[in-house]
Amino acid sequence: MTTEQVLLGPKEKKILVRREAKSSQKYGSDPYLRSVEELIHYSIINVNKPKGPTSHQVSSYVQKILGIGKSGHSGTLDPKVTGVLPVALDRATRVVEALLKAGKEYVGIMHVHQEVPEVTLRKVLQQFVGRIKQLPPIKSSVKREWRFRNIYYFEILEIEGKEVLFRVGCQAGTYIRKLIHDMGQALETGANMAKLVRTKAGPFVLDDAWTLQDLTDALWLYKNEKNEKFIRKVLRPIEEGVSHLPKIWVLDSTVDSLCHGSSLGVPGIAKVEAEIQKKDVVAILTLKNELIGLGESGMISKEMVQLPKGIAVKMDKVFMERGTYPKMQKSD
């Protein structure tokens, strides 16, 4: 399995069909056909955070550039750390909560205070792969108590003297600076993090990230030259922010009740991704792949397509506006 699959799972997932159905073209729309004005108030920007400002400041800059009332970022980065910082816009802001729990990847430089044999270095650092116990640093946004975190992989890319270039994939909430400090203690040499770049946050990767200047330029081209091409690359549909979550597609007749906060019953399901487990956070979509909302599964995938009735998902967050799809009689 590739490092990407470790973080996000296989790209192609098996689909289980409960009922063959099509969505009416009278309601809703393909997420990639939304207007730019809609995207400005309902999308995600994969920002390439620069060194210097805090994550909150970067999110605020995005608001000012676009002239919107609110935004939210996923996963705080220290001012000195650069890289992937997904910023959700306006009505899409709450989707960052789903991204906060997604796996992260970083590339950085570890400075070991004394040179150690490469064999020893590799052996000790590999002891930190898997489930580790970590105490957050004194300056952190969470309560300072011991907690467990998963390190999916720690790859040494290059060693030059006391400098170790590494790539690490980890569970959300892992403090990389503290990880490097703990590794230094295990080596009995001491170590500190010299540089860090976040290369992945859930489904977002550094190769597809944009600078604040890119956003400014894209908006100028749209406003002054009526050229939408650049800004459409920068403003990504909210659906891309939940692409790492297991998915359930529902019938048109079910959409409106879900927009009002109703739980999803199995008769309203068209198809589901395989291997959904109870209590998984799942994304509920229309048959046009529009995000309706997020919820907690009450049964596994096979039960969702085989049982005649029952509550499949308890809705937690609703993103689609009421009235997007008409009220219809529930399917049997």
300 bridge partner residues: none
Give me the DSSP letters along 190-220. Answer: -EEEEEEEEEEETTEEGGG-B-HHHHHHHHH
Please confirm, yes or no, whether 78 is among the known catalytic residues: yes
| Residue whose structure tokens are 């489904």 | 203
136-141 own/partner pairs: CB under 8 Å, 24+ apart: 136/175, 136/178, 137/175, 137/177, 137/178, 140/175, 141/76
Classified as helix, coil or strand, 61 is helix
| Alpha carbon distances (Å) from 300 to 15, 16, 199, 274, 278 | 13, 11, 32, 8, 6
Alpha helices in the chain (DSSP H): 3-8, 36-41, 55-66, 96-100, 118-126, 176-187, 212-225, 229-234, 252-259, 301-306
Cβ count within 10 A of residue 22: 10
CA 168 – CA 129 distance, rounded (Å): 9
Which tokens hold the place of 246?
A: 């297991």
Token pair in block for residue 210: 């944009």
Q: 230 phi and psi, to 5 degrees?
A: -70, -45
CA 14, 297, 43, 89 dihedral sign is negative
Identified catalytic residue from 78, 182, 217, 280 = 78
Query: Which stretch of DSSP H or E encloses residue 89?
Result: strand 82-89
- Looking from the CA of 271 toward its CB, the CA atoms found within 13 Å total 14
Q: Which residues are catalytic?
A: 78
